[in-house]
Structure 1
Amino acid sequence: MRGNFKLAIMLIFTITLTMGCSDRSDTHQAADESSENVELTISAAASLKDAMDEIQNNYVKEHSEVALRINFGGSGSLKQQIYQGAPVDLFLSAAEDKFAELVDEGMIEGKDSADLLGNELVLIVPSESDITNFQDLETTEVNTISIGTPETVPAGEYARESLENIGIWENVKPKTVYAKDVRQVLSYVETGNVDAGIVYKTDALISDKVKIAATADPNTYTSITYPIGIIKDSEHYEAASDFYSYLQSDAARQVFEEYGFTVN
């Protein structure tokens, strides 16, 4: 009987010791994880690339523990990737409707979203071109014009909308070359592969190989707004929230304005 009692005491002691070691191990592991570097994945509209590259460099200088991996592309394609479960922490869209779909699905919460920027739509041509307005696109001198694929590229959607509203879309449509994003449109015009393209003003300003032939009447297309939001399932919510706030800071606003964006 006494032997059984001693055995029971030893068993209880062993279990208690094991649990204590486990607790200390878990605490130590949590501390290790909190001290590790964090990599944030950001999906951003292609038109944001130059401004975001500069902001990224500025941010990591002040936050050495954070690495930023930015995936640029058409907002529609980026939205679809997030919807299908891509591990993204922040989404910067060039279209409110694409962004709103994720909000409606509960993938971005209203408290973690904001309208960040605005932009303008312009017609660009090679530097030596004689094209001076949108109506010139209907002439026989213009063989090709590029816009982003309207279904996945907001700039393309805005471009088609504007051309429809000024009454020339049906004549221009057969000449249209569609691009995967707004930067590809810019590239087509820079290389002379097309006679003209419709892009955001901010894209036109970064190139010395093209010129702005005309600015689209803002009444002919939906107002261009860039919303930003934290993905609800982000594994690094705290770090994502900090960068989300930084993008709305005076330091980031100054960079965006330098690249031609209007800041909300």
Structure 2
Amino acid sequence: MNKKKIITFLALIGVTLCAIAGCNFSSPTIEQGNTPTKASVPNVNQENIQLTVSAAASLKEALGEITPLFSKAKSNVAIRNNFGSSGELQQQIINGAPVDVFISAAAKQMDELQKKDLIIADTRRDLLSNRLVLIVPADKGDAKELKDLINANIKRIAIGDPRSVPVGQYAQQALTKLELFKDLQSKFVLGNNVRQVLQFVESGNAQAGIVYATDARTSTKVKVVQVIDARLHAPIVYPIAVLHKSSNQPSAKSYLEFLSSEPAKNIFEKYGFSTL
């Protein structure tokens, strides 16, 4: 047997023995340039995500407290809150604003977006409810109930603009039921959102105003003189939904779930909302 045959024979014996012993002939991971192969990719955090949440102005304090809790639970997700009147926020969405989650202070605005197929219908649900109240400046008491608003000594009454602001729409419904709305129109000072209505009364630019109970609680400059009978207006609910155009739908849905968690519910209730 020549030398070449002897070497080949010995190599075959070596391979056979190594196979029996369980040797590993796998090739090591090779990195090409700066891009590692799949086998060598280390565990890394998920890509950072920002969610834009357009929410009714009355939610400002509650969501301001909830947002850090969510960010702590989901460290890669940052929340950008955009507060305003629900009607204004609705129009922003219709006009193409990049919004991931919408929280309205009334069903009407969410209904309009759903008709236009702008929300993911199966993510929609009613999150919260609220109450309507009559307020006056803390150091004055020109009105004690809605029927007093007709009195001649009351010159200015602040309500949300019924054309676009849910709190104004609820106020219009209540005053209409009491047959007061038409007679009071010349006295109305219209706010662009519920917080502006509150400011009109705080500053004395209005002698009375109709706001949500939760907003009245944020100010020491006004006092509640009447909790308005809920039978006088449509139920005050806050629907929430994820937008179809959201580029971060899984994270947006996770945010919706978090708002129904016990920590979030406790904060909403702390600010006077009822959770649903």
Which aligned runs of 4 or more in structure 1 are off by greater than 6 angstroms?
Answer: 31-34
Query: Matched residues in 1 for 2:247 and 2:44: separation?
Result: 12
Number of aligned residue pairs:
241
Counterpart of 1:50, as a letter, is: E
1:160 to 154, 162, 172: 172
Summarize the alignment of residues 87-236 of structure 1 with structure 2, pairs less than 5 Å apart: 87-130=98-141, 131-236=143-248
Question: Compared with structure 1, are the counterparts of its residues 33 and 152 closer, same or farther at alpha carbon in structure 2 (3 Å cutoff)?
Answer: farther
Which structure dedicates a bigger proportion of its chain to helix?
1
Q: TM-score, normalised by structure 2?
A: 0.83
1:72 to 73, 83, 98: 83
Structure 1 residue 123: Cα displacement? 0.4
2:74 equivalent to 1:63: yes
Residue aligned with 1:36, SS: coil
Q: TM-score, normalised by structure 1?
A: 0.86
Counterpart of 2:83, as a letter, is: F
Query: Matched residues in 1 for 2:223 and 2:117: separation?
Result: 42
Structure 1 residue 35: Cα displacement? 3.2
2:60 to 26, 37, 49: 49
Query: Matched residues in 1 for 2:89 and 2:44: separation?
Result: 29
Question: What's 2:6 paired with?
Answer: none
Query: Matched residues in 1 for 2:175 and 2:200: separation?
Result: 19
Question: What's 2:266 paired with?
Answer: 254
Query: Matched residues in 2 for 1:112 and 1:190: separation?
Result: 38
Coordinate RMSD, CA, aligned: 2.1
Counterpart of 2:63, as a letter, is: M
Identify unmatched segments of 5+ residues in structure 2. 1-31
Question: What's 1:240 paired with?
Answer: 252
Summarize the alignment of residues 10-49 of structure 1 with structure 2, pairs less than 5 Å apart: 35-49=46-60
Residue aligned with 1:108, SS: coil
Structure 1 residue 33: Cα displacement? 11
Query: Matched residues in 1 for 2:241 and 2:160: separation?
Result: 24
Question: What's 2:5 paired with?
Answer: none
Query: Matched residues in 1 for 2:49 and 2:61: separation?
Result: 23
Percent of pairs with identical residues? 42
Structure 1 residue 141: Cα displacement? 1.3
Identify unmatched segments of 5+ residues in structure 1. 1-20
Question: Compared with structure 1, are the counterparts of its residues 223 and 149 closer, same or farther at alpha carbon in structure 2 (3 Å cutoff)?
Answer: same
Query: Matched residues in 2 for 1:112 and 1:169: separation?
Result: 36
Query: Matched residues in 2 for 1:180 and 1:34: separation?
Result: 42
Structure 1 residue 112: Cα displacement? 1.1
Residue aligned with 1:111, SS: helix
Structure 1 residue 62: Cα displacement? 2.5
Structure 1 residue 212: Cα displacement? 0.4
Structure 1 residue 63: Cα displacement? 2.3
Question: What's 1:6 paired with?
Answer: none
Query: Matched residues in 2 for 1:219 and 1:160: separation?
Result: 13
Structure 1 residue 34: Cα displacement? 7.5
Counterpart of 1:63, as a letter, is: K
Counterpart of 2:61, as a letter, is: D
Structure 1 residue 59: Cα displacement? 1.5
Structure 1 residue 56: Cα displacement? 0.8
